[in-house]
Amino acid sequence: MSSIRTIDDLYAGYRRFRAGSFLEARDRYRHLAEQGQQPTVMMIACCDSRADPAMIFDAGPGELFVLRNVANLVPPPADDNAFRSTSAAIEFAVSVLKVQHVVIMGHAQCGGVRAYVDGAMGEAVAGRYIARWASLLGPAYESIPAGLAAPDAAKALERAAIRHSLQQLNAFPFVARRVADGTLTTHGAFFGIATGVLEWLDSDNGEFQPVS
């Protein structure tokens, strides 16, 4: 695997893309440019460089509509005039693109989750914006067992955060309507960076199960 450390490395990677995978999928790119995108799956994932949804699911161009943010969080619906990128992306995917599935995928060793845990345990959290965004994890943190040491609390919160974000997602009226009429399904998933194991949230028992 090539190593990207400089802008020249980015240029080199782009040239490999143009000479390789772009060339192989040229007709598909042309079709996507002319006809527009029609993905059926939206992925809400963390911006962590180690958990790329397109790579994990071996997806080609135009197959996934991907939203990435710190700790794969979904904020609650709000009617204010604040800039809400995550909410806007969800609305576009559900109401305009008419995706059939929305998957919230968390991952192991999540820095955003650990930042919240450290803050909850009295450690300083660097960054005004990080701390404010991570505060969305509060209700999920309250759902995990009390008294856990920081590493174990972070592991529990990584999964609890997915469950909580699913609740937030389903609270958006335009999501709830489509779920109710059977045209949209929401899912939770968890990726183990070191193991490569993908776990899927069982909607019946609320537990994560490895995908065989």
Handedness of CA 87, 57, 49, 33 (dihedral sign): negative
- Rounded Cα–Cα distance for residues 212 and 172 (Å): 32
* pLDDT computed for residue 1 by the predictor: 60
Backbone φ, ψ for residue 11 (5° rounding): -60, -45
Residue 35 has pLDDT above 80, yes or no: yes
Encoded amino acid at 168, one letter: Q
Residue 31 has pLDDT above 80, yes or no: yes
Encoded amino acid at 193, one letter: I
Distance from chain centroid for Cα 185: 16
Distance from chain centroid for Cα 59: 15
DSSP per-residue letters across 151-193: HHHHHHHHHHHHHHHHHHHHHSHHHHHHHHTTS-EEEEEEE-T
Residue 95 has pLDDT above 70, yes or no: yes
Backbone φ, ψ for residue 89 (5° rounding): -65, -40
**pTM confidence score:** 0.93
**Rounded mean pLDDT of 21-47?**
96
* pLDDT computed for residue 68 by the predictor: 98
Percent of the chain's residues with pLDDT above 70: 98
Q: How confident is the model at residue 122 (pLDDT cuts 50, 70, 90)?
A: confident
**Rounded mean pLDDT of 195-209?**
95
Angle subtended by helix axes 111-120 and 150-171, to nearest 10: 110
**Rounded mean pLDDT of 25-48?**
96
Name the more confident of 124 and 70: 70
Ordered structural domains, the chain, with CATH? 1-36 (no CATH), 37-210 (3.40.1050.10)
- Rounded Cα–Cα distance for residues 89 and 92 (Å): 5
Q: How confident is the model at residue 58 (pLDDT cuts 50, 70, 90)?
A: very high
- Rounded Cα–Cα distance for residues 156 and 139 (Å): 13
**Rounded mean pLDDT of 140-166?**
95
Q: How confident is the model at residue 114 (pLDDT cuts 50, 70, 90)?
A: very high
